Amino acid sequence: MMEFGITIPLQRQLKIPAPFYGSERELCYCWELHGIVLQGGRALTAAGVRERLTPLEYLELDMRRLGIVK
């Protein structure tokens, strides 16, 4: 099961209350969602709580581990 945390700035921007946290014990399944500005527009990104990597960085690590890229 995955758990998504919504950062306080993103909660304020979306005008939503803090969600319930704490049911997932394994941090590799926990993600923080961040609102960012990308090329002048608003975007949403995620970061893994355990290593603080984005999904694309996790993909790159897996591709390196599998020998697809060096």
Higher pLDDT, 1 or 8: 8
Instruction: Please state the pTM of the whole predicted model.
Output: 0.57
Q: Considering only CA atoms, which of 52, 53, 33 is closest in space to residue 43?
A: 33
List pLDDT tens digits, range 34-58: 888 889 998 888 888 777 778 888 8
Identity of the amino acid at 57 = E
Mean pLDDT estimate for the chain: 80
